[in-house]
Structure 1
Amino acid sequence: MSVLRFSSPKAALTNNSCSWKFHEYIPSSWETYWFSNIDKFQYEVCSILARSDQVNITIDVLLRIISFQKEIFDTNSQRMSIDNQFSKMHYRGICSNKEYNASQLIEPLVGLIRDPLTICPHIPSVSSNLYLHGEFALQSKRFLLLAPSSPFQIDPSLTINIASLAPWLYTSGSQKILIDIGSSYFKSRNENTAEIGTKWFYDYFKEKSIRFNRIIAYEYEKLETRRVWDELPDDVYSIYTFINVGVEVEMEKFNPWKMLEAIAKPDDYVVIKLDIDKPPLESALMKQLLGKKNPAKYLIDELFFEKHISDNRKSKEDKLKDSYELFTKLRQYGIRMHG
């Protein structure tokens, strides 16, 4: 897989006398194996994942991510050989006229770009306690490695206090912003506590002692206004903006990228979730984000999106290969892209 390099306005992150710049995205050998064979693999994902060589890697990586998710990454944590199966985001920095290189792990793009032990039939050799069930399987979050929990290395070692977010993602005093496109109610839609909704992000970051400065929620379906606000925790009420209107591709006031450009700066930490269950609109928004003249992509740090695809060879709908290509392009722009 070729590796592209992009410079961006996000490059000038100044943190404790250091200036950081995203350099490149390097996929792991495991991800490269899948990407290189995706033309064939996309029609037989489950059978490939069930092979013994894939099962062993899957379990080790999954358990490693689960352990990472429990806390903020400690720079003194012991590194393990399985970490080589993770892909990496690379950065370059200058601190007091001295150059530094840094890398941070991210979950590899493999299988259906989601928890490999979901969707497909259970594998006999895999312990039953590693499987989730029902909505918790469909909405599994176990294979998501967000920045606060993600291991990173700086070379040579840098003697500065590392905050809860790596210095290339966030500058002290800047904003932490969450934009939930397709939010429904804060807690969940239809009492589905398994879904990745606003509350899940709130809980994850609160556990890591990270508080958003602003949360913007878009929802097309008309919601009960009183319930919308009643579900909010006290510390969210003052930072929450609810827009009960669907997002639009036109670069007007209901376009999420235009909103992002208006409220965010390059040194803010920006998390976006896009899930509106309207594949044509979702695809149009992602295509728009990748546009050469769209600066919004340089403002996003983490993006959660599940692309709708077909495994029918004769269908003209997008295939799994299109998801791999989209996610790779966005990671090559410095976005921690998650499925």
Structure 2
Amino acid sequence: MSLLDFSRMPRRAIILTYAIILALVFVGVYNFGQLPDILRGSSFEAPPYGQKDTPPPPGHEPPPAHESPKPAEGQYCKWVFDKYESSAYEDEWFQEVPNVQPTTPDGTNICKAQQAEKHVAASRAIVGRAINLTAIDPKIQWKTYDTMPTTTLDPADQYMSRMYYRRVCYNEEKREFYPASGHGIQLIEPLFGMLRDPFDLWCGSDKLTIENYPNTNPGQSKHHILPQGFAPYTYTTKAAGVESTEWRTHGIPPWHSFLRPVYNEQVGTTFSTPQNIHVDLGSSYFGGWTKASSAASGQWFYDNYHARGQRFNRFVAVEVETLDDTEAYEQVPADLIGIYTLMNIGLTMGEDKLNAVEMIKRIVKPEDFFVLKLDIDSAPIEEPILQNLLADDPENGGASALIDELMYEHHVNFWPMNGPWRIASTSKKDGDLLTSYNLFRDLRRKGIRAHSWP
């Protein structure tokens, strides 16, 4: 008997079958009806962004508007990555780095280069802005889209680089997405200097200074990083360019995650809901390396994502160094118990069940918001992971399409970092600072908010 051969089914079974199908259809329609307006079609019209005669900042004009079909009423729309744009200041450093990356303190090194007047001013603007954005009252959370009021950009934002996004809408008949009107922008810290906080201790007497600097984690400062929830963004669903006068400094942008359409012959199209997932490769304890709180990566991700309203559904910590289970879980907050998983074993990039990239593919779905931290201090594992991400095809199952944000400490040979990284100054196999610049820019060009982790 086929699945729905009613002629051979008892009357009571037929009634029950109809009831189940109607319930499933109702749930699918109801859930779609609850979508935020920014994820629906023409039922939402964004307000105009500022005065029409107000141009965007020089060098940051929005991408040209394209004629795109207008979404049908109630049609589901999502946002996808479009392009990465380096700031003019980032471009300056790409030109300067090849001349300031010796492997010894002799000559013009990166610490000396950062002391140029223009770099001192820029560093203070960039890090000062990042500190101010991330120092927002811890009680403020963003659990839904666009919870913060709009404002104008800060003068320091001219130094920031930009991630661009565009909107696509779903045609249920053709079961495919098509280009639609709308585009958005989100800021990200530029690639500059030694790709670390220039006010941290690594340059010794040559380090830069800034007034009221919160020197809370010497050697492990993350003040230069702009996580997505703290990075100003703006968008419009119209074809016109995004003006510069209405930005949100904090919160969840519409490209944070999305719903994935799933077609079923019995009930039609339903939408799978996203999860928030964090995988920490090289986690140590939640509270830091053997209780060294300055290096507490687990706590940092908890504070900057989970505690801000983007609660993790899964939190996977991977550490090859043997940890004490009891001590490890004592450091985990109560609201992560059952969500936090400690894998106290090393992963590989071989053809086995512990392959790191394949594990990510099993855990993460395309619609999820996924934050990956990679700091294993083992180039034979880290480099293959990064090269896999750079070489894969995000449109055909590549893991790079799954990653929204990446925190990575790239160990290369330049002074003064080759000392603490235990890289011989004569080594030729580890690459140089320009290698790191190119790596992070290439990752960003694939749509990953890639940050240099300390």
Query: How many equivalent pairs are there?
Result: 322
What is residue 414 of structure 2 aligned with on the other side? 311
| Alignment match of 1:323 (pick from 410, 416, 436) | 436
2:80 pairs, out of 12, 21, 27, with 21
Cα gap change, 1:295/1:66 in structure 2, threshold over 3 Å: closer, same or farther?
same
Look up the match of 1:217. 317
Q: Give ranges in structure 1 of 5+ residues lacking alignment.
A: 1-14
Report the aligned-residue RMSD.
Answer: 2.8
Q: Does the 8 Å contact 1:92/1:100 carry over to 2?
A: yes
Q: Which moved more, 1:124-133 or 1:69-78?
A: 124-133
Which residue number corresponds to residue 105 of structure 1? 187
Contact 2:199 2:207 (C-alpha < 8 Å) held by counterparts = no
Q: What is the CA-CA distance between 1:254 and the residue it aligns to?
A: 1.5
Return the letter of the residue paired with 1:99.
S
Which among 123, 126, 135 is matched to residue 58 of structure 1? 123
Measure the CA separation in 1 of the matches of 2:289 and 2:385.
23
Bigger relative contact order, structure 1 or 2 (CA pairs below 8 A, ≥6 apart): 1
**Does residue 244 in structure 1 map to residue 347 in structure 2?**
no
Deviations 1:123-177 (A, max 9, x none): 59834643737xx23110101100011111113479xx99942111213731000
Deviations for 1:86-132, whole angstroms, at most 9, x for unmatched residues? Answer: 00000011469851111100000001111122222345983464373
Report the Cα distance in structure 1 between the residues aligned to 2:255 and 2:189, rounded to whole angstroms: 18
Q: TM-score, normalised by structure 1?
A: 0.87
> Greater Rg, structure 1 or structure 2?
2
CA–CA distance in structure 2, aligned partners of residues 107 and 147 of structure 1: 11
CA deviation profile, 1:187-242 (whole Å, cap 9, x unmatched)? 11222111141121112224422210001111101111222222222211111221
Residue type at the aligned position of 1:76: T
Aligned to 1:10: none
Which has the larger displacement, 42-51 or 320-329? Answer: 42-51
The 5 Å alignment of 1:101-140 reads 101-118=183-200, 119-122=202-205, 126-127=209-210, 129-130=212-213, 132=215, 136-140=217-221
Partner in structure 2 of residue 192 of structure 1 = 292
* 8 A Cα contact 2:230 2:250, kept in partner: no
Partners of 1:113 and 1:233 lie apart in 2 by: 31
Deviation at 1:311, TM superposition (A): 2.0
Equivalent residue, structure 2, for 1:260: 360
The alignment status of 1:41 with 2:41, answered yes or no, reads no
**TM-score between both structures, scaled by the size of structure 2:** 0.66
Amino acid at match of 2:219: L
Partners of 1:53 and 1:163 in 2: how far apart?
28
Q: State how far apart, in whole Å, the 2-side matches of 1:309 and 1:277 are.
A: 11
Equivalent pairs: percent with the same residue? 32
Bigger shift: 91-100 or 184-193?
A: 91-100
